[in-house]
Amino acid sequence: MSRRAVVSRILSIAVFILVIGLVFAVTGQIIRAKFIGDSTSIVDGFYAEEKNDIDLVVIGSSNSFCTVDPLVLYEEYGIAAYDFGSSSQPMNISVLYLKEVFKTQKPRVVALEVNMMTSDSASSRSEAGLRWGFTNIPLSADKLQCIYQSVGAVNAEYFSYVFPIFRYHGRWKELSRTDYTYFYQDKTNYTKGYLETQAVSEERINLTEYDFEGAVQIEEENAYCLGEILQLCRQNNAELMLFKSPRENWHRYETEAVRALADAQGLRFVDFNELYSDGKIALDMAADFRDPQHLNDSGARKVTSYLGGYLKENYELADRRGEAVPNSWDEACAYRQRKGWQAYMDAQTARECIEMLQDDRDYALIVTDAQHNGGVRQWVYEDCRVALDLEWQDDGIRHRKIGESELVLARMGPLQQVLIDGVEHYQAGKRWNITVYDKILGSVAADLMFDE
């Protein structure tokens, strides 16, 4: 075989492998599980952040991103923080996440939640925890090494983490519109990685067993991972601190085991179970937890407020509030404020409601006037102008893009419809119906009805 033929064959094989790899990558992106609101949103949101814009990174398992609310840190102390964790995250994946942090960010402080420090390294590596941890992290040598550490072999299981199509090939029948559109959606995480929830535990939480006697041995592998995390921080001029979120079934003997390790490395360690037990932080056992292991928004605000004071006292963290150019934390705080009650929701008439919103380009209004004579008029008010005006005489349907959503207006006999992303928002019963779409939130903020 000639040299040219050999080169041609090698190139053909390389192109074939490249094409197969691209097919696996694209199809894997479509069919893989998407943990929206959890690890997927947290990881993708982190990579959407501006380079070198984060001053404090919080890493660890779900106890980290259900405890530290970065927007509270920013509102009260001006600290620009991000929760970069995943559910049930083993310590070796925490190392991987920190490596990813330093590829794009230069945080002054890294806060590690230590819930997984005292766990059995083997039993803590459930498939769910590994899927949550690996799925949205970009493929790299660090990720491949971490997968090998977790799986222990280059086998079918290993490749299922490299190419998710091998694990999720059975999801074809349950794919939704989101699976296909997630590629080009805005990945900005407006909670900065924090998991919002107002849910309250059905049973009162019990932290009174904190002083029960017992013993725990921190595995050598977990201690080694802590050493890796500390080394990464020192190499990148960041300070490492440890903290433990409040939860049931955490005890003082576990605190002392972690503290001994922290003291040996010269690290600060804050345990909120200890602070609660010693009466230094007030938590409501009936209102501040979503379940025995995690805080809700009420509890997270209390713990975060305390942590913010501790951080400002012990570390050099800039107050980013009031910068000349609004930063992404300013935008995130504005986003959160828009999700709550707004003044227009108390409008007494349709005219009053429209007048309150007509100069705000971030709102779109879908107005329906079901006139007393049986006629129906609908219009879309967007970008401070009437963008669509319909006076229905016959049955019909109109499609329109509104923000990131699909709007459908329809008339079928006596029935009127306002569908946004397939969800009905028209409410019969009064003359005026106004659906308020918030373009910042990317969703409907209110459905309002008025007699006049």
Q: What is the pLDDT of residues 206-232, one digit of tens each?
A: 999 999 989 998 999 999 999 999 999
d(CA 186, CA 270): 36
Q: What is the pLDDT of residues 290-314, one digit of tens each?
A: 999 999 999 999 999 999 999 999 9
d(CA 77, CA 72): 8
58, 85 Cβ separation under 8 angstroms: yes
Query: What is residue 36's predicted lDDT score, i.e. its pLDDT?
Result: 56
d(CA 113, CA 269): 10
Q: Are residues 195 and 47 in the same domain?
A: yes
Query: What is residue 247's predicted lDDT score, i.e. its pLDDT?
Result: 95
Q: Are residues 7 and 80 in the same domain?
A: no
Q: 109-113 and 56-59: which strand pairing?
A: parallel
Q: Are residues 288 and 350 in the same domain?
A: no
Q: Sheet harboring 376-382: ordered strands across?
A: 385-392, 376-382, 363-370, 432-438, 443-450
**How high is the mean pLDDT of the chain?**
88
Indicate if the alpha-carbon torsion angle 148, 154, 157, 163 is positive or negative: positive
Query: What is residue 349's predicted lDDT score, i.e. its pLDDT?
Result: 94
Q: 396-402 and 405-412: which strand pairing?
A: antiparallel
Name the band, by pLDDT with cuts 50, 70 and 90, for residue 24: low
Q: Are residues 22 and 49 in the same domain?
A: no
Is the pLDDT assigned to residue 33 strictly greater than 60? no
Is the pLDDT assigned to residue 21 strictly greater than 80? no
Name the band, by pLDDT with cuts 50, 70 and 90, for residue 354: very high
- Strand pairing partners for 366? 380, 435
Better-scored residue on pLDDT, 254 or 126:
254
Q: What is the pLDDT of residues 366-414, one digit of tens each?
A: 999 987 666 788 999 999 999 999 888 788 888 989 888 899 998 887 7
Considering the entire predicted model, what is its pTM?
0.80
Q: Are residues 60 and 159 in the same domain?
A: yes
Query: What is residue 9's predicted lDDT score, i.e. its pLDDT?
Result: 75
Query: What is residue 164's predicted lDDT score, i.e. its pLDDT?
Result: 73
Q: Which residues contact 151 (CB under 8 A, 6 or more apart)?
A: 157, 158, 161
Decide: helix, strand or coil at residue 125. Answer: coil
Query: What is residue 149's predicted lDDT score, i.e. its pLDDT?
Result: 92
CA dist 391 to 367, 368, 398, Å? 12, 10, 12
Is the pLDDT assigned to residue 7 strictly greater than 70? no
Q: Are residues 3 and 15 in the same domain?
A: yes
Name the band, by pLDDT with cuts 50, 70 and 90, for residue 181: low
Q: 423-424 and 432-438: which strand pairing?
A: unpaired
Is the pLDDT assigned to residue 346 strictly greater than 80? yes
Q: What's the CATH number where 37 sits?
A: 3.40.50.1110
The average pLDDT across 343-365 equals 92
Query: What is residue 11's predicted lDDT score, i.e. its pLDDT?
Result: 75
Q: What is the pLDDT of residues 45-104, one digit of tens each?
A: 999 999 999 999 999 999 999 999 999 999 999 999 999 999 999 999 999 999 999 999
Q: Are residues 168 and 292 in the same domain?
A: yes
Q: Are residues 326 and 386 in the same domain?
A: no
**DSSP-assigned letter for residue 131:** H
Region of 413 on the Ramachandran plot (φ > 0 left; ψ -120 to 50 alpha; else beta): left
Q: Are residues 244 and 105 in the same domain?
A: yes
CA dist 70 to 60, 84, 127, 328, 336, Å? 15, 11, 29, 12, 12
Query: What is residue 167's predicted lDDT score, i.e. its pLDDT?
Result: 64
Q: Are residues 297 and 350 in the same domain?
A: no
Name the band, by pLDDT with cuts 50, 70 and 90, for residue 421: confident
Is the pLDDT assigned to residue 172 strictly greater than 60? no
259, 267 Cβ separation under 8 angstroms: no
Report how many domains make up the chain: 3
- Strand pairing partners for 364? 437
Domain span at 387: 342-450
Query: What is residue 441's predicted lDDT score, i.e. its pLDDT?
Result: 85
Better-scored residue on pLDDT, 409 or 187:
409
Decide: helix, strand or coil at residue 267. Answer: coil
Query: What is residue 1's predicted lDDT score, i.e. its pLDDT?
Result: 61
Q: Are residues 109 and 174 in the same domain?
A: yes
Q: Are residues 110 and 86 in the same domain?
A: yes
